[in-house]
Chains A and B, each alone.
Chain A
């Protein structure tokens, strides 16, 4: 029996550093491990003893790509603990801020990190020589997203204007007006981006994922909803720990999440789309159909198309919020700290981001738990790798290696969030 090992020490175009070991014995993949060797970051421990007002700024430091997601899950959890709901224009502004993050994060991944895989380029700089217009489009989209975050968050990276109960300062209508001009152009670019990526050559593979995402009665989910799955799960976010658990594995400093009863599951764009297709505006559903994407997509390689559709959705949602905006009387609703436990769950660009805080009577943090999307997706990413490699066993190692790297990038993993690069090893026996 022949054994084979394929190894990529530092895989490119993912956020963070990790490795992959693929062991092949004869005609069987016996192990596919996504190794994460970045040191643990201990944010949950840092938060202990901190005042509730410090949390939003601290958790923003977990990620430079999706700080808004961390802030949103945190403030929702703290407001839940204090029995406060943030409604009306403040809620809309939070949704607008989140749209900014979806636009900039998805544009970065779709064009700069993922598209080169499908077009045979080593990176976006080389791709820019042949597809300069698309790279310029991506920069324009990213700029539009960043403009939203800069205006509402005070700065583009690690924003500082989010607080429990609302914001420190809210914008005037006049301040939002230039964003609308930029977003009008971004919306047109997003339509072109959907058509472009839908034409990429996708490997034919379908995975039987259990999709998990938030679902809201009326909206495509960003800030709130119930946690639902494609196999019947439908729970309040407070019941997360009754259905999900995290396990330590030797090859990763990020905990692996599982459904207690069924194992691996998938969060992120494919899951949101599958579970909330009916919450997308009709013309976006029509565009999806026009480019060949049905209401359910199980091909992980086509996640790039879903991300492009979500960029379009976020541009349109942002424009609608800006058009309806009337500055609220107060930038923040009043709240009284109390001893309580609060839960928050929002849809980060990469998927569901769940937070729990136990608070003392003065509102300081006694315990915190943060479950990021990449940690949740690790078991499914490993299962993807096994499936992808199994379908390519007769192929040269280079082909297996490239397809496995692409397979990981399908899920835009943010390894830094989960605990940075991928080290891919394939062992054949």
Chain B
């Protein structure tokens, strides 16, 4: 069966707290509801956009930049929370999640439901492990993601 919902875990596990996405994905592997696929992405988001075309929902999980509360989990609705405001494509090096979602929306490739979970990091040093605050938040983040995905899977129409 084709996946109707994708959990997209973003980040580089070799860059400290940037590895939060892959780390929470590892906790959810094998526990996802039917119709939900897990994808990892540590680089080229442009290449992901076309694959969103026929999805019912896209749930993204990524580390966010330090804002003084390491380990805090934020749930964002990109449209309502202004994630698309003032975005511009300045370079492929600067092509982040907001730019990818903005471009997908403009092209009509964004799924009807897009949710972003951001786990605030504090240390992004190459080769460093996850910080204590981020590691401690992973179980709670996994539980919230699983709840979200179960709700979305229940609403999404079945596909043969």
Instruction: Report A's interface with B, CB cutoff 8 A.
Output: 12-16, 64-65, 108, 112-113, 122-126, 128-129, 132, 135-136, 139-140, 142-143, 146, 156-157, 416, 420-421
Taking CB atoms, residues of chain A closer than 8 Å to B102 are 125
Q: Is B46 a contact of A139 with CB atoms below 8 Å?
A: yes
Binary interface encoding of chain B residues 33-50 relative to chain A, with 1 for a CB under 8 A from any of its CBs, else 0: 000000000111011011
Q: Is B92 a contact of A65 with CB atoms below 8 Å?
A: yes
Interface residue B106 (Cβ < 8 Å from any Cβ of A): yes
Q: Is B88 a contact of A140 with CB atoms below 8 Å?
A: no
Taking CB atoms, residues of chain B closer than 8 Å to A12 are 88-91
In the assembled complex, how far is the CB of residue B104 from the closest CB belonging to chain A, in whole angstroms? Answer: 9
Q: Is A157 a contact of B44 with CB atoms below 8 Å?
A: yes
Interface contacts beyond A139-B46, A142-B46: sample of 7 additional A-B pairs, CB < 8 Å, sorted by A: A15-B93, A122-B88, A123-B89, A125-B89, A135-B106, A136-B109, A156-B43
Number of residues on chain B facing chain A (CB within 8 A): 21
Q: Is B90 a contact of A123 with CB atoms below 8 Å?
A: yes
Interface residue B107 (Cβ < 8 Å from any Cβ of A): yes
CA distance A64 to B44 in the complex (A): 9
Taking CB atoms, residues of chain B closer than 8 Å to A64 are 43, 92-93
Q: Is B107 a contact of A132 with CB atoms below 8 Å?
A: yes
CA distance A13 to B91 in the complex (A): 4
Selected from B42, B44, B46, B50, the residue in CB contact (under 8 A) with A112 is: B46
Interface residue B17 (Cβ < 8 Å from any Cβ of A): no
**Given A140-B50, A143-B50, A146-B44; A135-B89 close (CB under 8 Å):** no
Which residues in window 64-104 of B have CB below 8 A to A?
87-93, 99, 102-103
Taking CB atoms, residues of chain A closer than 8 Å to B43 are 64, 156-157
CA distance A89 to B46 in the complex (A): 31
Q: Is A108 a contact of B107 with CB atoms below 8 Å?
A: no
Interface residue B108 (Cβ < 8 Å from any Cβ of A): yes
Q: Is B44 a contact of A156 with CB atoms below 8 Å?
A: yes
In the assembled complex, how far is the CB of residue A42 from the closest CB belonging to chain B, in whole angstroms? Answer: 14
CA distance A13 to B42 in the complex (A): 21
CA distance A125 to B107 in the complex (A): 9
Taking CB atoms, residues of chain B closer than 8 Å to A128 are 103, 106-107
Selected from A108, A122, A136, A139, the residue in CB contact (under 8 A) with B92 is: A108
Q: Is B92 a contact of A16 with CB atoms below 8 Å?
A: no
Most buried by A among B44, B49, B109: B44
CA distance A420 to B93 in the complex (A): 8
Taking CB atoms, residues of chain A closer than 8 Å to B87 are 125
Q: Which residue of A lies closest to B51 (CB)?
A: A143
In the assembled complex, how far is the CB of residue A160 from the closest CB belonging to chain B, in whole angstroms? Answer: 13
Subset of 22 A-B contacts with CB under 8 Å: A12-B89, A12-B90, A13-B89, A14-B91, A64-B92, A64-B93, A122-B88, A123-B88, A123-B90, A124-B89, A124-B103, A128-B103, A128-B106, A128-B107, A129-B106, A135-B107, A136-B109, A139-B49, A140-B50, A142-B46, A146-B44, A146-B47
Binary interface encoding of chain B residues 13-36 relative to chain A, with 1 for a CB under 8 A from any of its CBs, else 0: 000000000000000000000000
CA distance A218 to B1 in the complex (A): 48
**Given A123-B88, A124-B103; A108-B93 close (CB under 8 Å):** no
In the assembled complex, how far is the CB of residue B82 from the closest CB belonging to chain A, in whole angstroms? Answer: 15
Taking CB atoms, residues of chain A closer than 8 Å to B91 are 12-16, 113, 420-421
CA distance A113 to B90 in the complex (A): 8
